[in-house]
């Protein structure tokens, strides 16, 4: 039987452990998560373990990134199952602090990355990325890892974290974890479990329609705004209940592009029944 992975709960214990590792010459990696781990998260652990000697996986359901309409209490919390999954990986320790540890009484500081946090997902979920930027800054400053990894699935989150690490001069290398797809190409997400069998079939169209969009702009030279409209119409006629956006953007600033250039990316969110599905792909 695999030994279960230790869990630490305080900043003090985390810092002591990381200090000890550093004295031993180890390179430290961090994988921030909110738990409810699936194979996408586990692939982040493998990717960072290829570079770091010791890997901290944080599990913290961060209240400040949930809007008033979003159900923080219903977010899945399954620490024991997560611990079992992580015990089979190269993770070294789980850091699972309490809300009081992360936001002690009197806590008054938040981090906001302006501009990029207000568009796309930020426009749909006001304040969400301030919560993300604040907690990620706290985690990185508490742990001070050499590497930290974030999935490309949440591409806007990754772009915001890259910006804040650069702006705040946090000495960490941000790594991008490859987007993991199911066998039909649907991006892996804990939300996929909420799809009915029929919705699951519809959901599998999202990645195909984005691939067609890339083909249209790259090969048929379709103007970018037109390609976005065509993809949106196709999503709706394939059975998606709504399309929040299909946007061809600069991969760093996430601002809309007029023509394709290096780093161009398509970001999309479509709703299937009650489930919001995110996807994105590089164009060039």
Query: For binding to ligand PAF (CB under 6 A), which residues are involved?
Result: 32-34, 62, 65, 132, 135-136, 154, 157
Least distance from ligand PAF to the Cβ atom of residue 158, Å: 9
Least distance from ligand PAF to the Cβ atom of residue 161, Å: 7
Contact 265, 248 (CB under 8 A): yes
Which residues fall in the annotated binding site for ATP?
34-41, 151-154, 180, 188-191
Q: Which residues contact 178 (CB under 8 A, 6 or more apart)?
A: 43, 47, 151, 152
Least distance from ligand PAF to the Cβ atom of residue 139, Å: 8
Half-sphere exposure of 4 (CA within 13 A, CB side): 8
Instruction: Give the residue among 136, 164, 169 at the shortest CA–CA distance from 150.
Output: 136
Of the two residues 76 and 274, which places its CB atom closer to ligand PAF in the complex? 76
Enumerate the β-bridge partners of residue 94: 7, 57
Q: Which residues are catalytic?
A: 41
Which residues fall in the annotated binding site?
34-41, 65, 151-154, 157, 180, 188-191
| DSSP letters for 30-61 | EEEE-S---HHHHHHHHHHHTT-SEEEEEE--
Instruction: Give the residue among 247, 252, 249 at the shortest CA–CA distance from 269.
Output: 247
Of the two residues 164 and 283, which places its CB atom closer to ligand PAF in the complex? 164
The bridge status of strand 93-95 relative to strand 242-250 is unpaired
Of the two residues 37 and 266, which places its CB atom closer to ligand PAF in the complex? 37
Which residues fall in the annotated binding site for beta-alanine?
65
Least distance from ligand PAF to the Cβ atom of residue 200, Å: 23
Least distance from ligand PAF to the Cβ atom of residue 48, Å: 14
Least distance from ligand PAF to the Cβ atom of residue 77, Å: 13
Of the two residues 9 and 19, which places its CB atom closer to ligand PAF in the complex? 9
Of the two residues 33 and 205, which places its CB atom closer to ligand PAF in the complex? 33
CA distance 172 to 161: 11
Which residues fall in the annotated binding site for (R)-pantoate?
65, 157
Of the two residues 2 and 109, which places its CB atom closer to ligand PAF in the complex? 109
């Amino acid at each position: 039987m695999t030994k279960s992975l230790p869990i630490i709960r305080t900043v003090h214990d985390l810092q002591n452990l990381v200090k000890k590792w550093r004295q031993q010459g180890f390179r430290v990696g961090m994988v921030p998560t909110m738990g409810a781990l699936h194979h996408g998260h586990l692939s982040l652990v493998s990717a960072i373990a290829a570079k770091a000697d010791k890997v901290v996986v944080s599990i913290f359901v961060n209240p400040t990134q949930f809007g008033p309409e979003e159900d923080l209490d219903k977010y899945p919390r399954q620490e024991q199952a997560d611990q079992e999954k992580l015990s089979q990986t190269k993770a070294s320790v789980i850091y699972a602090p309490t809300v009081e540890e992360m936001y002690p009484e009197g806590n008054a500081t938040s981090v906001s990355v302006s501009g990029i946090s207000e568009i796309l997902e930020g426009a749909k979920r006001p304040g969400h990325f301030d919560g993300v930027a604040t907690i990620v800054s706290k985690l990185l400053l508490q742990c001070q890892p050499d590497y930290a990894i974030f999935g490309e699935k949440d591409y806007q989150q990754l772009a915001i974290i890259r910006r804040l690490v650069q702006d705040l001069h946090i000495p960490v290398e941000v790594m991008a974890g490859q987007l993991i797809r199911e066998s039909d190409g649907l991006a892996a997400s804990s939300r996929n479990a909420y799809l009915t069998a029929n919705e699951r079939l519809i959901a599998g169209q999202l990645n195909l329609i984005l691939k067609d969009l890339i083909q249209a702009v790259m090969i048929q030279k379709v103007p970018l705004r037109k390609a976005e409209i065509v993809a949106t119409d196709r999503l709706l006629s394939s059975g998606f209940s709504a399309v929040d956006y299909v946007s061809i953007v600069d991969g760093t600033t996430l601002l809309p592009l007029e023509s394709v250039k290096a780093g161009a990316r398509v970001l999309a969110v479509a709703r299937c029944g009650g489930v919001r599905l995110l996807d994105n792909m590089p164009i060039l």
